[in-house]
Structure 1
Amino acid sequence: MSQPQTLVTLSIEMVGAVSAFISEMRPPTRPPGRPQCALFLTLAEQYEAATRLVQVGLATHAAGHVRSMLEGLTDLLLLATQADHLGRMKYAQAAGEKRFLDRMLESPELSASQRVMLEGRLAECMARYQPLHNEFRGDKRPQVDDFALAGLKSLVGPYSMLCSFAHNDLTALAYRHQGERGMTYREPVPEDTTFLLLSHASFVVMRAMGALKSVVYLPDGRFDHHQAEIGRLYDAITGLAPAPSIESESPDNRERKA
């Protein structure tokens, strides 16, 4: 079995191992443990989505999922260590809802009933938004600072690369579609790119699960059992790291060819 095939096989096994853990875990009913568990469930779904995209030859389109996984892991860890992080997450949610409603209300095509409905939603949103805005305005942390605060500074570089794929910038488009002699469709993805995606996604799953040990309930010994299995699979995945090539086909190289 080739390295890419083995990588996908192990990742599919990881999906099964994570599902087995989820089927046994019992989350708490209150924050911060409750939202931590919700984040873990989303991370597990994103991991499976990324694995399936790699499986069908669309690895670079998995980058958006892996990028979100890095953000989700950061939130999960900060919920455990920063007393105000749940409030910051609520503020981000309310601010996004307010922006959406403000823009909707700018439309001249709204009917009177639609406008009344949206204004009601905005009033409800503002009741949540304003106290949070008073608390957190002027104290917004960039994502890189959240990585550092969560002890994940090593993820800043990979995160920046994943952002380029998620945003479909020119570098990412050239990497996907600029071949040697013209534009390509479903260009095969280099092994090192596929490995980077799935190894980081697997790291997120393993690290996030470890953070839940004191949060979720499982029968005696079962957490350690699931953690050992996921750790075994993570070690097997990272053990497939391809040898570095003399001249890597980087996104920047592809862009220059375009």
Structure 2
Amino acid sequence: MIGLVLAAGAGRRLRPYTDTLPKALVPVGPEGKEDETTVLDLTLGNFAEIGLTEVAIVVGYRKEAVYERKEALERKYGVKLTLIDNDKAEEWNNAYSLWCARDAIQHSVILANGDTVHPVSVEKTLLAARGNGQKIILALDTVKQLADEEMKVVADPDKGVHKITKLMDPAEATGEYIGVTLIEGEAAADLADALKTTFERDPDLYYEDGYQELVNRGFKVDVAPIGDVKWVEIDNHDDLAKGREIACLY
């Protein structure tokens, strides 16, 4: 198993940081030491803690900043990094971005969005949920109060995911997908085909729409509740402030 990070996004709502950096390299360290820790640092630290030694990172917007830090990150976290170029990062949404990593997924991966600050307990929860024939397991927050922006999921303990979309009444949702997934290698071909169908239908769609495409085809996508843990998806400066508070906890 390897780690996989989607770090190709521009994160325009986080300017001026993202004038020169991809969202995954926005600093989230404590006050006075902000630049010492980024979202990518936290994710690589989580991966290293659960014993992963190889990580693939999909890069696109301001990818040169990731290339420049590659060797230093490898030394710091004891991992080998493989950078995968997304040639449409500034044009298309992340269904295409995950499809770019289709070869990496064959090794089995823990996928983490490059803008999600979360504790390593999430990865440990996903690993603990393996072993009963699951091919794709989504980390699900069933505690948080949901609103319109969240990636909401309706799931059944036995049958798995029914629906995953932002376009849903929050009251209908089982929980929120937090942007971390365990994908077994045997799901790689099916997922790649579903992602291709998704971005060919509309390049602005999310990779979660690819998960929905799988579900529509009869593929079972499972979930693992993460419990009451603090995490945040960093989309704007308010989220960034929360991310810095949370990063200090872990």
What interval of TM-score do these two structures reach, taking the shorter chain for normalisation? Answer: under 0.3
- The structure whose Rg is larger is 1
Greater RCO (Cα-Cα under 8 Å, separation 6 or more)? 1
Normalised by the length of structure 1, the TM-score is 0.27
What is the TM-score normalised by the length of structure 2? 0.28
